[in-house]
Amino acid sequence: MSRPNAPGLIDARRRGTSPGDRKRAREALRPARLRTSDLIRLGGYGLRLRPLRAVLSALGIAIGIAAMIAVVGISASSHADLDRELAKLGTNMLTVSPGKTMFGEQATLPDESVAMIKRIGPVQSATATGVVGTAHAYRNDRIPAAQTGGLSVVAAKLDLLDTVGAELSRGVWLNEATDRYPTVVLGATAAERLGTGPTVYIGGRSWVVVGVLQKVALASELDTSVITGWPAATTYLAFDGHPTTVYTRSVESQVEAVRAVLGATADPSAPSEVDVSRPSEVLSLRRATNATFTSMLLGLGSVALLVGGIGVANTMVISVLERRSEIGLRRSLGATKGQIRTQFVAESLLLSLIGGAAGALMGYLVTGSYALTQGWPTVVPPWVLAGGVGATVAIGAIAGLYPAIRASRLAPTEALAAA
Amino acid sequence: MSSVEAVVTSADADDGHAVAELVGVSKSYAGGVAALRSVDMVVEYGELLAIVGPSGSGKSTMLNLIGTLDRPSSGTVCIDGFDVATLSDRQLSALRSRRIGFVFQQFHLAAGRDALGNVADGLLYTGAGRRDREQRAEAALTRVGLGKRLTHRPYQLSGGERQRVAIARAVAGDPPLLLADEPTGNLDSVAGGGVMELLHELHQSGTTILVITHDREIADSLPRQVQMRDGQVV
């Protein structure tokens, strides 16, 4: 029979294994690179084969990322709120109160302590309140004496409001005239408990309510106080005149220096019987107690992320098993082992990135809605978003690598026979 | 019909290379099964031939070796002038991507891709750009008579049409060698006849086609038959 001769039969290349042939083979048989756009499409193609499975395994990653971002975001939002609050309140307030004597009795501050503290250079203002231990406030004269409602009667200097940063919610503050007569200003909590009557009953007489305070963040003890003028307390309630809390404001940069001398200035004869504290620190510490809770949630988040990663790996392993004939076909079409490997790693990366992006969005929304209910600003630090993306990519790569290597090692003939 | 030995001699004599050349090729699998025993065969450019034999005769092994999907245990396999034994796995992949087109009995079409996508994806590993791939895919589909079925998914096509898509995928890159493994095995006789007609047409326009089949009737309809039995050419 006659066999047709094709053009190109006489060719420079010849069968053989000389070094020259090998070089020619190297040049002629260089596999083409897969373009990035093609690679992304290949990854997406695999996911579209089994959309539900892709969604479910991306969900694992999403929950992990969402949990971590929400935890960090909520804590950051809380801190942002605290910072905002402190910026408003100022962190330069120090309070002085009597501690215990050597014998464990309640100490007292000297009457002159406020005047002495005012003489410390960087101190901008100082004022005092004194608890009237012998008197209690009642709604009216019908209330049994034991029902004090947890409120205390406190005598205050007129400059209290400016120093502690308190504001009135209604009425007026005491003045030079009213602080000599039976008039009171109620703390916010005290006002709730004593009702909205025009008078309250203290020490056997009615006192006129002239004003009510808003909540005081840096001096929350005032919230449960019924505040009278200093002279009035002395006149009507047998107040001993000893200050029980001295509030000071100092130059911001000198707060620590003032703090160091405050005890000795307030009571030079017994500096050790004086307690000095910085309410803004107390406020910070109260928020900081949430740290253990935060790290526990972070731990839970990373467990969720780990489980999500295992889910992705599982999906990829199954995908490789199911798609053996596709792998065989691609090998027959000229895909190298490396290209098969890259395809499955790309698929895994895409899967976890989708999960990560959804998780970041969910985490942001959770943070936002929680912050909204708390009245906080929504803050999600950029580093946590970057960390989330980084973790996602790492998980995708690790989870996809083993299945991808398995896919690439499949012998083409075996893979094709699997169909 | 000339004997295999004569073919080898003539190929050596004219100092060129054949599209596929097997010299003393044996293949045995783990467990000592000898699928091929010292096979010599040459396929020249422009041929249309059948490798025919009953199952177990070694014709699938021939397909795997000529398709460079597998390597021989001994002997030399040269495809388009390249000695397979000297090539790395990467180089073999590159060889397949540009020089060999496969048509399978089971079509191996991607269910989620339309006809155009399936054919275009066949060119993915040639390094062609997406636009270029789609243009060539459309041309190939037109060539196999499916110019009006570009956006049909495999499930919307008949068996014969699916195999035409697979053939379009195999010839879209204009490979020097087209390997068809039982191309009519999953088709009824009418669709199978259509596919064989298409292969003849492609052959007429210059493509070298090697059909592997157990069907004597199909083999006899081709210009040349290589008969196999028990791992040997008879």
- Can you tell me the ipTM of this complex? 0.90
Question: Looking at the predicted structure, is the pLDDT value of residue A229 above 50?
Answer: yes
Spatial contact of B124 and B136, defined as CB atoms under 8 Å apart = no
**Gap between the Cα atoms of A405 and A158, Å rounded:** 79
pLDDT at A406 > cutoff 60: yes
The predicted model scores a pTM of 0.73
Residue among B2, B44, B176 whose CB faces A5 most closely: B44
Main-chain phi, psi angles of A381, to 5 degrees: -60, 140
Could you report the per-residue pLDDT of B5-64, keeping only the tens digit for each? Answer: 333 333 333 446 889 999 999 999 888 888 999 999 999 999 999 999 998 898 889 999
Is any Cβ of chain A less than 8 angstroms from the Cβ of B34?
Answer: no
pLDDT of A10 > 70? The answer is no
* A40 inside 8 A of chain B by CB: no
Closest CA to A92 of A41, A116, A129, A126: A126
Tell me which range, A103-117, A143-157, A266-280, B153-167, is most confidently predicted by mean pLDDT: B153-167
Contact A1 B2 (CB under 8 A): yes
* Domains in chain B: boundaries: 45-67+87-233
Query: Is the model's pLDDT at A318 over the cut of 80?
Result: yes
A:47-76 residues touching chain B, CB 8 A cutoff = 48-49
Under 8 Å between Cβ of B146 and B177: no
Token pair for A45: 């193609």
Between A and B, how many residue pairs show a Cβ–Cβ distance under 8 A?
Answer: 160
pLDDT tens-digit map of A14-25: 444 556 666 777
Q: Which residues of A touch B64 (CB under 8 A)?
A: 413
Amino acid identity at A231: P
Cβ of B126 within 8 Å of Cβ of A334? The answer is yes
Considering only CA atoms, which of A152, A150, A209 is closest in space to residue A182? Answer: A209
Pairing of strands A137-138, A199-202: antiparallel
What's the mean pLDDT when you consider all of chain B? 89
Cβ within 8 Å, pair B81-A32: no
Distance of CA A179 to the CA centre of its chain: 44
The number of angstroms, rounded, from the C-alpha of A102 to the middle of its chain's C-alpha atoms is: 42
B18's torsion region: left (phi>0), alpha (psi -120 to 50) or beta?
A: beta
> What are A314's two structure tokens?
């599982």
Distances (CA, A) of A253 to A102, A249, A266, A278: 33, 11, 21, 14
A338 touches chain B (CB under 8 A): yes
CB A237 within 8 A of CB A297: no
Between the alpha carbon of residue A9 and those of residues A4, B13, B15, B58, the distances in Å are 11, 12, 9, 28
Of A131-145, A174-188, A285-299, the range with the lowest mean pLDDT is: A285-299
Task: Locate the domains of chain A by residue range.
Answer: 37-84+289-417, 92-278
Architecture of domain B45-67+87-233: 3-Layer(aba) Sandwich (3.40)
List of chain B residues whose C-beta atoms are within 8 Å of the C-beta of residue A1: 1-2, 223-224
Sequence-distant (6+) residues with CB within 8 A of A195 are A139
When pLDDT is cut at 50, 70 and 90, the band that residue B4 belongs to is very low
What mean pLDDT value characterizes chain A?
Answer: 84
B208, closest residue in chain A (CA to CA): A6
Task: Identify the CA nearest to A268 among candidates A140, A128, A164, A120.
Answer: A120
**According to the model, what pLDDT value does residue A291 have?**
67
- A34–chain B Cβ distance below 8 A for any pair: yes
Q: Is the pLDDT of residue A128 over 80?
A: yes
Give the Å distances, CA to CA, from A136 to A143, A154, A227, B50. Answer: 11, 10, 11, 112
Tokens, residue B234 = 């008879």
Residue A11 has its nearest CB partner, among B17, B121, B130, at: B17
Answer whether residue B234 shows pLDDT above 80: yes
Interval B116-127: pLDDT, tens: 999 999 999 998
For residue A330, give the nearest of B175, B50, B123 by alpha carbon: B123
Burial of A10 (0-12, 13-18, 19+ CB in 10 A): exposed
Tokens of A222: 């005032």
Chain B residues with CB under 8 Å of A42 CB are 124
CB contact under 8 A, B44 and A6: yes
Would you call A97 helix, strand, or coil by DSSP?
Answer: strand
Closest approach of chain A CAs to the CA of B122, in angstroms?
6
pLDDT of residue B11: 34
Helix residue ranges, H only, A180-225: 188-194
Which residues of chain A have a CB within 8 Å of the CB of B46?
A: 3-6
Interface contact flag, B94 A30, Cβ < 8 Å? yes
